[in-house]
Structure 1
C-alpha cells in the first residue's frame, strides 16, 4: 500500500510523529546518565523502576481510554501533556533553576502521557486500514521510528551536553505543535458502536479488572507462560540499550579518536560515543529488519529464539571487555543482530499459540514481555554499585543464557501439546 493511498490521518501522523520522535531521541538516551549523575546510581535505578510502574498502569488503561474517549482526543491530549512535561523538565534544567527531582517528576509524567498515546495511535491504524494492508503500514511507521533513532542520537550527542535546557524546551514546543497538527488535520476514527458498548460496561476499574482476569486465563497456557518468562529474562539484556549501556560508556570512554588521517582526527567523548553506537543500532534495524526476518524465516523458530538469546549474551560479553569505541561498535552489531533475529518470528509464534477468539488478548499479554522487562531493567544501574560492572554484565549474560534454556523447554512443551492434539 503506497503512502499516497493512505488515509489523510495516517499521512499527517507519519510526518508529525517523525518530527516528535527525532526530537525525543535527541535527549532520551542520555537521561539515564543525567539521573545517575544527579541522584547516584542506587537512587536513579530505583526511581526509574518507579517511573516505569506508572507507565505500565497507564498502558493498561490506554486502550480503554482510546475506545471510550476517542483516538484523536487521546492523542491530542497526550501530545499536549508531553509538551507541558518537557517544558517543566527544561525549566528544571534551566539557568535559573536546577532541580533534578522536578526533572524526574516531569520525565515520569511525560512517560505516562506517552503510554496513553501509543494504544490510541495503533488503534487508529486498525480503524482506517484494511487488515491485508496493516502490516505494510505498521512497517513504515516502525521504519520512521528507527530513522528517528538514527538521526536523534547523532544530533543529541552534539547538542545535549551543552544545550540541554534549549533541547528540552524545543521538545516541549514540538509536542505542542504535534498536538495542534493532530487537532486541526485529523478526524476521529473510533467506531461509535465500540464507544457505546464501553459506556454501558461500567466504570474504568471494571475494565481493568476484566483485563487482569483475561491475563490470568492466558497464564494457564504453559507454553505461552514460558514464552513470557523467557522474554522477560532476555529483555533484561536488550532493555539496557538506553539504561546501563549509556552509563557504562560515559564512565569508561574518555576522549578517543574515532577517525584519524594525518593531523586531522575526529575525537569523541562518552556521550558522543554512545550517540554513535545508538545511531548504529537504529540504522541497522531500519536497513536489515526485512532481510533478517526473511532469512530467519527459513529456520525452525526454536533454533532462532535460542540462538538470539545466545547472541545477546555474546554482545554483553563484548561490551564488558572493551572501552574502545570501535569495540563498542562491534558489540552493538552483535546486539542488533540478536534483536532482529526474533523480531518478526515472535509475533507469528504468538499467532500460532492464540485461539482465534482470543488473538487480541494474547497479543496484548505478549507485550507484557516488554512492560515487565522495562520495569525491572533499571535495577542494573544500582547493581553496578552493589556488585560492580563486571558482575552486573555476568548476571545479564547468565539471564540471556537462561532465556535460551527456557525457550528450549517452551518448545518441548509446545511439541508435546501439539502431538497430543494431533493424536
Structure 2
C-alpha cells in the first residue's frame, strides 16, 4: 500500500546537478512514488544566489540558510551536491543529528573525511549514500559494496575522469599536443576554466581513495593516494605508445598485494595495450575494470559526469534511502574491518617506458644498460635513433618496483652521455 504522507527532501545546491535532481523529482514524481512506496516532496532548496530564476522550483522553497533547512526536523533525506569540504561537512553531520539521512555526490569530502561521516551516520542510525561521487551515472559503489560483498576484490583499474579521457583521446586520434586538446575540451565544455583538479589528477585521486576503501574494506584517505598529473604527456609519448601497440590513459589503480597484507592506490598516466578493454574508452566516457577471485573480470562503462548522468546516480540513491526510511532500516555502512596498511608508491611493481636524450656515440647503450642492471631493473626492449651527434633511446623494462626505477633514473641523469630524461611512463594492463 502507498503511504500518503510524503517523504521530505532537502536539496543543498542547485547548480548543474542539483537543478537536474529537482527536475527529475518533479517530472517523475508519480513513478518515484510507486517505486518507493510513498510520495517524495522537495521541501527546500539551499542556494547561494536566491535571485536567480530556477525553472520548476517554487520561489518559496528557495533559501540561503542551509543550516536552518537541515535542522528543521521534518526532513527525511538531505541531498548534498554543493561540493567542497565546508560547509558541506558541517551540514551533513548536522543533518544526521536532526534525523535525516544523506545522499551526497561530494568525492573530495568523502575521500578526506569518509570515516568520520560514516561514524556520524551510524551513531544517529541514518544512511550515507554516495553513488554519484565516483563515476557519474555508472553503478559502481553499490556493486562493490553489495553485489561483490561475498567476493574478494584484488584490483580496481579505471578511467574515472571524463575531461582527461577526452583530452588524451583527442591527442591519440588526431596527433594534437596537450594544450591544443585542452583548448578544445574547454571550448566544448568538458574542461573547467581552471582544469587543475582534473588534469593534475586530484579529482581521480579522490575517487581512487573511495574505491580502494570500499573494495578492500580498509580506510584509504586522499593523502594515501599517489597522484601524478598528465600535463607532461606529449605527442611523442603517443607515437611511442603506438609503436608498442598501446595507447595512454590517466588511470586510477587500486590493488591488493599478492600476499593480501597491504593495498596501494595511485593515479597517473599509463600506457595500456590496445587489446585491453579500457583502451577503447573514447571521448569523455568513464570505465572501471574490476578483478576479483570468484567473479573474475568485470567492466563498468558509461558517462562519468554531467548534470543528467550524475543526477541519475543521485536519484538512485534517493530511492534506496527512502525505501530504507519507510522500512525503518538502514543500508550498508562503512566496512573497514580489514584495516590493511597502505603501502608507499615505492613498493608498487609494474613495467616502465623511459625515453632518454643521449649522445650519439659508441658505448652509450652499454653505459645505460649497466645503470639499469646495477639497480636491479631488467630491460625488455631497447629502441635507438640517432642523427648529427644526438640520439633518442627508448627503454621498456620488465616489472620492477617504483623505488628501483626511481633510483635508476636518478643515476641515468648523472651520466655525461645522457642529455636528459624526456619521458617516464608506466605500462599497465598486461
TM-score of the pair, normalised by structure 1: 0.25
Which of the pair is proportionally richer in strand? 2
TM-score of the pair, normalised by structure 2: 0.25
Q: Which has the higher contact order (CA 8 A, sep 6+)?
A: 1
Which of the pair is proportionally richer in helix? 1
Structure 1 or 2, whichever has the larger Rg, is 2
